[in-house]
Amino acid sequence: MNEHLDNKSYVSVFLLLEFSAIREMQILHFFLFLGLYLAIVSGNLLIISAVAFDHHLHTPMYFFLMNLAIQDIGAVSVTVPKSMVNSLMNTRHISYTGCVVQVFGFIFFAGSDLFLLTVMAYDRYVAICNPLQYEMVMNRTACTKRVAAVWIASFLYAVLHTSGTFATPFCSNAINQFFCQIPQLLPLACSNLYLIETGVILMGVILTFSCFVYVVVTYVHIFSAVLKIPSTQGRKKAFFTCLPHLIVFSVFCFTASFAYLRTPSSTPSHVDFVLTVMYSIFPPMFNPIIYSMRNKDIKNALSKLLCLRHFSGSFTSTGM
């Protein structure tokens, strides 16, 4: 019995969710995910380029947006490409090491997203509620320290989750999700060591809820200050800026928390899949649209950047 358990516990390969056994549906899934991935990466790369090359955007808000774009690219890059390759190659395999990398990478980038969105809420609070103190409170040094703290905290948070998840041997290797997701991995554990990671998940949910409460309280103060703005146009602009931030943050927090607290089904579940897509793919896809693409400063920076590249290309092609 022990020998049998030992043999099964040394899992070297995991099997990810197969969307369909029909080849045409696999190809459809590949192109669907490819389209989403290219849209997410290109949208976020445009933001990074605009902020990096336009000195007018070297402000705290856009510095945070650039880091958010980097995190969004990272979050989808550790999960979506492998799923695409598996559909294209008609396979379900991911190595043990690859699974560890996916868990660590996704928690790292998703955690940094959570922490950075919380910092961004504070940035908006200071900008709207204490505008006279904004330059002093959100100076370059302070912003750099806050972003560095976000990356470091996320790294430690990811190490904690990854260690807790893979501390136990596994008796099965079938994961009912398109990437290595912690709630889907824990039921495969052979020993009670998985309870350690269960405790870490509960701690993570409490942390997520704490960030959510902080953001909500912050926005209550922001909206109270906005209502005092005499200009109707000013109120609309402030609400237009803040409400999308709150909506995306709320969807991310609730879907992720529900997915991690919900007992995963033993068979592939449409609910599990939809929840995972909502917190792993939707935020990186909508963040560029909500925070940047409708922003006049970003639009102007992108216009300058794209026109400059077009001009450079024309200049080179004419041999001048």
Q: Is 277 inside any structural domain? A: yes
Distance CA 148, CA 285 (A): 24
Q: Is the pLDDT of residue 3 over 50?
A: no
Number of domains the chain contains: 1
Q: Is 318 inside any structural domain? A: no
- Which CATH number characterizes residue 189's domain? 1.20.1070.10
Two structure tokens written together for 41: 């990466």
Sequence length of the chain is 320
Q: Is 6 inside any structural domain? A: no
Q: Is the pLDDT of residue 318 over 90?
A: no
Report yes or no: 139 and 165 within 8 Å, Cβ to Cβ: no
Q: Is 23 inside any structural domain? A: yes
Q: Is 306 inside any structural domain? A: no
Q: Is 215 inside any structural domain? A: yes
> How confident is the model over 142-176, as pLDDT tens digits?
999 999 999 999 999 999 999 999 988 898 899 99
Q: Is the pLDDT of residue 135 over 80?
A: yes
Question: In this predicted structure, what is the pLDDT of residue 246?
Answer: 82
> How confident is the model over 81-118, as pLDDT tens digits?
999 999 999 999 999 999 999 999 999 999 999 999 99
Q: Is 225 inside any structural domain? A: yes
Domain holding 155, by residue range, is 16-299
Q: Is 315 inside any structural domain? A: no
